[in-house]
Structure 1
Amino acid sequence: MLDRETLRKIRRIQIRTKVILESGIGGAYHAVFKGRGMEFAEVREYTPGDEVRTIDWNVTARMGAPFVKKFVEERDLTLLLLVDVSGSQEFGSRYLLKRDYAAELSAVLAFSAVANHDRVGAVLFSDRVERWIPPARGRDHALRIVRDVLAIQPAGRGTDLAEALRFAQRVLKRRSIVALLSDFQATGYERALGVLRRRHDVVALHLVDPREEELEAAGLMAFADPETGERFVADTGRADVRRALAVSGLAAARQTFKKTRVDALRLSTAESYERPLQGFFEARGRRR
């Protein structure tokens, strides 16, 4: 049974997602994630504006009038969402929790897939695979994914991204689209990411909170890792310490994406993802 707050979040996400998809992201998704090819649909009479190369000359000769072949895209695609639900996703300094932000992104991607008749599934992970939702079609299935991202109570606190990537490699039997939604506060996942990238179309959505990028000068401060619980003290009065704390994790993730040739988009919970995500898809589409 979902609590009232989770139900409220789901309803808000449904409304917001509908508006966002109508703004063009759904079309951008379709353009960047193409199907396996074109499938013959029918032959029909030529109309002005049809390309000459689509004329079926055999039928044209037989009928005494120009006819063209019509093709439709053969998609049959699968989108797999790998969603980080570890302890660090519960962080939110002034805006949305990273978990809530990931739920909204999951909704946009899942409903874009549904609108394009693609299957969508999800792996929710912490330091283990918390939940496996096999790919299927339909709005109800997409909504189930969003609900589970919001409502799951993970057994683990840490992040084992490598295990989630290896799990995806095992369960995906054919080439698929894999979207990683995480703050990438993990290590040791480069090899698993590279292996998955060689077989599948992988994109990374790197979720960050503003406080993780911009630390205030407040002298000696105690920090605690949200996943391991390990505590340490750092002098935030020093600019070099602030910079090191803020950028070390971000830089490591960027380097990993570069080495594995995974397209990545950094998204701040303080900002709307709508325009950056659409721009990311459009730029990616132009390179293909």
Structure 2
Amino acid sequence: MGSLLTAVKSKMYIFTHRRARGMLDGEYASVFRGRSLDFDDLREYVPGDEVRDIDWKATARTGVPLIKRYVATRRQQLMFVADTGRNMAATARGGEIKKDIAVMAIGVLGSLTIRHGDSVALVHGAGDATVALPAEGTENHLEQILRCVDAASITSGPSSLIDRLEYVATHYRQRMLLVVVADELAADDRLAKVMRRLSAQHEILWVQIADAALAGPDAVQGTGLDVAGLEPLVLLLAADPELARSYADAQAQRARSLENILKARGIASTSIGATGEVMTHVFALLERHRRAH
């Protein structure tokens, strides 16, 4: 069996030239700029301090502007929170299997992380089962992570990303960069609640693997669509234009609801429909995160 990480690196080389790879490295480094620190105590604000480091609650109590003081930590930790349920074996927007795009995205970000001396971890699962891989900073460990994601199949349990997110919110207190790799999912109060908890403790990036179009000229048909029993829906939408429009409106509303939850928490996101989009979308995602923080 070939190495998934080697395949990812080969695609990275094909999709980017040296200057672009350097820019991608720079964007990754900027995510952690000034954040490789743990909270220590408070001190009075002096001109030149970062405004974002002001502790507004403590300032309100004392009437004196107070800054959070930090101590350096040796390494940063990036945790992937990934759906490895059966939905990730379905077809994505560009016609590829969703898990293949997830492997590429995780491989790119994981390679950047290790190259910068940081460590990567994974929380994944299907149905009620959550599996956590601890943080390590080696390519062998990243290969193991990629194989866990690649193992998603039509025989996996149901996709339940929100269970994985609630697991992280409950079990991890140390500040990390979370990269959520998600199927398209419904945005509800439960999701809003857990994202509120997670964003208070961690920095978050959201990578959505885009669904295949189920109606219209771009509709993609294939066995992967039937993972969630969607093949009959494709046929119905193709036969009824009004139903297809209603379905498209519902999908757009779902996307807006998720976007609203993420924006409210200041979480940068991207939607990727093919492996060929990964490099440009990851770069843009890191850039948006840097600008937002």
Is the TM value for this pair above 0.5?
yes
CA distance in 2, matches of 1:21, 1:124: 32
Q: Which residue does 1:115 correspond to in 2?
A: 115
Q: 1:242 to 1:178 in 2, by over 3 A?
A: same
Alignment partner of 1:265 is 2:270 = yes
Question: Which of the two has greater strand per residue?
Answer: 1
* Secondary structure of the structure 2 residue equivalent to 1:111: helix
Q: Which amino acid aligns with 1:15?
A: S
- Max Rg structure: 1
Assess if the C-alpha contact under 8 Å between 2:205 and 2:289 holds in 1. no
CA distance in 2, matches of 1:258, 1:265: 14
The superposition leaves residues 248-280 of structure 1 with CA deviations (integer Å, 9 ceiling, x where unpaired) of 345324323423423211112275221122122
> Structure 1 residues 76-85 or 180-189, which shifts more?
180-189
Structure scoring higher RCO (CA < 8 A, sep ≥ 6) equals 2
CA distance in 1, matches of 2:155, 2:241: 37
Q: Which residue does 1:202 correspond to in 2?
A: 204
> Structure 1 residues 175-184 or 237-246, which shifts more?
237-246
Identical residues among aligned pairs (%)? 17
CA distance in 2, matches of 1:198, 1:154: 35
The superposition leaves residues 53-108 of structure 1 with CA deviations (integer Å, 9 ceiling, x where unpaired) of 9xxxxxxxxxxxxxxxxxxx856221110111121211226632110100010111
User: What TM-score results when the alignment is normalised by the length of structure 2?
Assistant: 0.70
Alignment partner of 1:12 is 2:11 = no
CA distance in 1, matches of 2:13, 2:128: 32
What RMSD over aligned residues (CA atoms) do the two structures have, in Å? 3.5
Q: Which amino acid aligns with 1:282?
A: E
The superposition leaves residues 156-192 of structure 1 with CA deviations (integer Å, 9 ceiling, x where unpaired) of 4322222111111133221111111112334642221
> Structure 1 residues 234-243 or 266-275, which shifts more?
234-243
CA distance in 1, matches of 2:249, 2:142: 34
Map 1:131-150 → 2, pairs under 5 A: 131-150=131-150
Q: Which residue does 2:289 correspond to in 1?
A: 284
CA distance in 2, matches of 1:229, 1:134: 35
* Secondary structure of the structure 2 residue equivalent to 1:203: strand
* Secondary structure of the structure 2 residue equivalent to 1:211: coil
User: Structure 2: which 5+ runs fail to align?
Assistant: 39-47, 49-71, 220-224
Q: 1:95 to 1:230 in 2, by over 3 A?
A: closer
Aligned-pair CA distance for 1:33? 3.1
User: What TM-score results when the alignment is normalised by the length of structure 1?
Assistant: 0.71
* Secondary structure of the structure 2 residue equivalent to 1:251: helix
Assess if the C-alpha contact under 8 Å between 1:110 and 1:120 holds in 2. yes
Map 1:97-116 → 2, pairs under 5 A: 97-116=97-116
Assess if the C-alpha contact under 8 Å between 2:77 and 2:135 holds in 1. yes
Q: 1:235 to 1:74 in 2, by over 3 A?
A: closer
Assess if the C-alpha contact under 8 Å between 1:126 and 1:154 holds in 2. no
Q: Which amino acid aligns with 1:277?
A: V
Alignment partner of 1:83 is 2:88 = no
Q: 1:271 to 1:107 in 2, by over 3 A?
A: closer
CA distance in 2, matches of 1:217, 1:257: 23
Q: Which residue does 2:45 correspond to in 1?
A: none
Q: Which amino acid aligns with 2:292?
A: R
Aligned residue pair count: 247
Aligned-pair CA distance for 1:155? 6.8
Q: Which residue does 1:182 correspond to in 2?
A: 182
